[in-house]
Amino acid sequence: MRRTLTVVFAWAAAVLLAGCGTAATSGGTASKPTVEKSLILATTTSTQDSGLLDELLPVFTRDSGWQVKTLAVGSGQAIELGRRGEADALLVHSPAAETEFVAEGSVGSRRLVMHNDFVLIGPKADPAEVQGTSSAEAMKKIAAAEAVFISRGDESGTHAKEKGLWSKAGVTPDGSWYQSTGQGMGETLRVASEKAGYTLSDRATYLAQRGTLALDVLSEGDPGLLNVYHVIEMTKKAGDLVRPDGAKAFADWIVGPSAQQLIGEFGRAKFGQPLFIPDAGKDEATLGQ
């Protein structure tokens, strides 16, 4: 009896010691970053779900020595994390919310990084007959037909764009045909595909997952569908523990020539077209022309 008990305690103690050992080393690397070079990047699900960050971040770490902790959340949450000083740099695509945020004064700088576009996608059968129409027209038709529309509903950049399109179409989406997932782009595409619904997606996430979806692009190419990404540096005004040096290193790097080239090449081999178009240094007003 005692032996069994001893075994249990020995097991617990051994695991705990092993755990402490590793926890201590990981704690070591974790507490060092406050002295050492580690920054928190809050970004959108599209940059993670499309695989872009997996391509970029290892190169940034190699070039600069900065470790990056990436939080892939909606743009709304990313901005909120920046506001609270919980993130050092933001890579987001919700221009209206960003401009408001910059006006609050805790932001160091906001620079144009890249763009792609949103596409309105839906089932091949296209019950609301939106194929080839402009985005505002398509939204009107979907609402009139009460065809299933799957919204992100998570205050992300894509959700903000979708709300903008509804108001441009003069429609307040409401009713059982309008459904909200509250999840990221990948999950939302999946729901739309299963429910044969329409949804708005950034082109990169859609292309990266097209193979597993029963959805087609139905409306695209309208200037109202541009999807523009900016990098935002946070400052100590947002919080004492913010690392403006890390934020600056990341922002400078991602608008620099090597990162811009990687962005331009990303996805070209796999999809036959780039998923993002690098835009550093351009004037935002000239995009999509």
Partner 1 sequence: MDVLFNGLVDAIRLLLTGDQDSWSITALTLRVSLTATAIALLIGLPLGATVALARFPGRRIALAAVNTGMGLPPVVVGLFVTVLLWRSGPVGGLGLLYTPTAMVIAQAAIATPIVVALVAAALQQVDPDFRVQMRALGATPIRALAALLGEARLPLLAAAMAAFGAVVSEVGAAQMVGGNLAGQTRVLTTAAVLATSRGQFSLAIAFGLILLLIAFAVNLSLTLIQQRQPVLR
Q: Is 239 in the site for partner 1 (CB under 8 A)?
A: yes
Of residues 277, 272, 262, 286, the one with CA closest to residue 62: 262
Q: How far apart are CA 195 and CA 176, in angstroms?
A: 13
Nearer to partner 1, 142 or 254 (CB): 254
Per-residue x/- mask for partner 1, residues 241 to 260, rule CB under 8 A?
xx------------------
Is 235 a residue that touches partner 1 (CB under 8 A)?
Answer: no
Q: Which of 39, 40, 114, 263 binds partner 1 (CB under 8 A)?
A: 40
Q: Minimum CB separation from partner 1 for residue 257, in Å?
A: 25
Pairing between β-strand 277-278 and β-strand 38-43 as defined by DSSP bridges: unpaired
Interface residue with partner 1 among 55, 64, 69, 164 (CB under 8 A) is: 69
CB-nearer residue toward partner 1: 8 or 144: 8
If binding is defined by CB under 8 A, does position 191 make contact with partner 1?
no
How many residues are present in the chain? 289
In terms of Cβ atoms closer than 10 Å to its own Cβ (0-12, 13-18, 19+), residue 102 is middle
Kindly tell me which residue out of 39, 43, 44, 49 binds partner 1, with binding defined by CB under 8 A: 49
Q: What is the 3-state secondary structure (H, E, C) of 61-110?
A: HHHHCCEEEEEECCHHHHHHHHHCCCCCEEEECCHHHHHHHHHCCCEEEE
- If the CB atoms of residues 135 and 209 are measured against partner 1, the closer one turns out to be 209
Q: Quickly list DSSP for 141-157.
A: HHHHHT--EEE--SS-H
Pick the piece of the chain touching partner 1 (CB under 8 A) from 40-48, 125-133, 141-149, 259-267: 40-48
Q: Which of 59, 65, 84, 194 binds partner 1 (CB under 8 A)?
A: 84
Looking at residues 151 to 190 of the shown chain, list those that interact with partner 1 (rule: CB under 8 A): 183-187, 189-190
Indicate whether 7 belongs to the interface with partner 1 (CB under 8 A). Answer: yes
Report whether 181 contacts 150 (CB < 8 A): yes
Question: Within a 10 A sphere around the Cβ of 131, how many other Cβ atoms?
Answer: 14
Residue 234 has phi, psi (to 5 degrees) of: -95, 160
Q: Whose Cβ is closer to partner 1: residue 127's or residue 153's?
A: 153
Helix axes 244-254, 257-265, angle to 10 degrees: 60
Identify whether the C-beta of residue 195 lies closer than 8 Å to the C-beta of residue 148: yes
Q: Which stretch binds partner 1 (CB under 8 A): 136-144, 152-160, 164-172, 236-244?
A: 236-244
Based on C-alpha coordinates, what's the Rg of the chain? 22
Residue 22 near partner 1 by CB under 8 A: yes
Residues making contact with partner 1 (CB under 8 A): 1-5, 7-8, 11-13, 15-16, 18-20, 22-23, 26-27, 30-31, 33-34, 40, 45, 48-49, 51, 54, 69-72, 84-86, 183-187, 189-190, 208-209, 211-213, 239-242
